[in-house]
């Protein structure tokens, strides 16, 4: 192959050989330049990917502690729901707080009596049946328990309590285990004395897993 090229070059005059050599030099130079830029471009892409990967790893490192904390919190919450002692009686912790709350109250009626004093659990009473509602809808073709919100209603009947006496009661409810909470509350102010209100409806709620 080389002999054929050398023989072909010998047949050319000096000017033609110069032109051929110049063209070959340009082709070789172009190929070298293209190769150098291709290599540099590939290296630049790799450097960019390395920098991006380093940024992603740094971000993962920043988020990992928060993720682990949230996961541990969710695991602990799930464990406490499964062993919830008030799963069938969310009103019991509320009544225990009411038992420790002293209030001034008045009985409404045509011949209403004067102001009396007593513990709140004597006038705030549970009523109705236990209400159980699935959270997220019922699962189909899946094993394991379903998560329910369990509700129990409490109310006062024809008894009005001094409003200021209820503030410590509601404050104490905020300090209960977060598995027991007040999901609904309706107060009725007494028309005969605006300083007194009646708990027309209070819904004590909790969470419970139910095997089905």
Q: Counting beta carbons within 10 angstroms of the beta carbon of residue 23, is it exposed (0 to 12), middle (13 to 18) or buried (19 or more)?
A: exposed
How many other CB atoms sit within 10 Å of the CB of residue 79?
Answer: 10
Q: At what angle do helices 91-99 and 163-174 cross, to 10 degrees?
A: 130
E strands, the chain, are 102-107, 116-119, 125-134, 146-155, 159-162, 181-189, 196-210
For range 177-192, the mean pLDDT: 90
Q: Is the pLDDT of residue 4 over 80?
A: no
Closest CA to 123 of 148, 155, 147: 155
Residue 166, H or E segment: helix 163-174
Residue 122 is given by DSSP the state: G
Calculate the alpha carbon distances from 175 to 101, 117, 137, 167, 170 in Å. Answer: 14, 25, 30, 13, 9
> What tokens does 120 get?
């709140």
For range 43-68, the mean pLDDT: 70
Model pLDDT for residues 155-168, shown as the tens digit of each residue: 998 899 999 999 99
Mean of per-residue pLDDT scores for the chain = 80
Model pLDDT for residues 89-137, shown as the tens digit of each residue: 999 999 999 999 999 999 887 566 688 999 999 999 999 999 988 887 6
Closest CA to 88 of 151, 138, 174, 146: 151
The model scores a pTM over 0.85: no
Mean pLDDT lowest among 4-18, 137-151, 188-202? 4-18
The residues, ordered by sequence, that sit 6+ positions from 81 with a Cβ below 8 Å of its Cβ are 147, 179, 207, 208, 209
């Amino acid at each position: 192959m080389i002999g054929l090229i050398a023989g072909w070059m010998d047949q050319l005059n000096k000017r033609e050989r110069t032109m051929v050599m110049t063209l070959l030099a340009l082709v070789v130079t172009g190929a070298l330049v293209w190769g150098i830029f291709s290599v540099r471009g590939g290296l630049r892409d790799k450097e960019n990917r390395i920098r991006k990967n380093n940024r992603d790893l740094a971000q993962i490192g920043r988020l990992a502690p928060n993720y682990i904390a949230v996961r541990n919190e969710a695991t602990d919450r799930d464990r406490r729901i499964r062993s919830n002692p008030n799963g069938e009686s969310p009103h019991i912790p509320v009544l225990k707080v009411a038992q420790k709350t002293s209030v001034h109250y008045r009985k409404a009626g045509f011949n209403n009596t004067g102001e009396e004093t007593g513990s709140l659990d004597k006038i705030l009473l549970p009523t109705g049946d236990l209400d159980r509602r699935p959270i997220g809808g019922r699962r189909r073709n899946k094993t394991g328990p379903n998560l329910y919100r369990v509700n129990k209603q409490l109310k006062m009947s024809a008894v009005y309590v001094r409003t200021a006496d209820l503030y410590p009661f509601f404050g104490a409810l905020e300090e209960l285990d977060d598995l027991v909470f007040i999901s609904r509350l309706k107060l009725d102010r007494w028309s005969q004395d605006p300083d007194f209100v009646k708990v027309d409806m209070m819904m004590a709620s909790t969470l419970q897993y139910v095997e089905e």
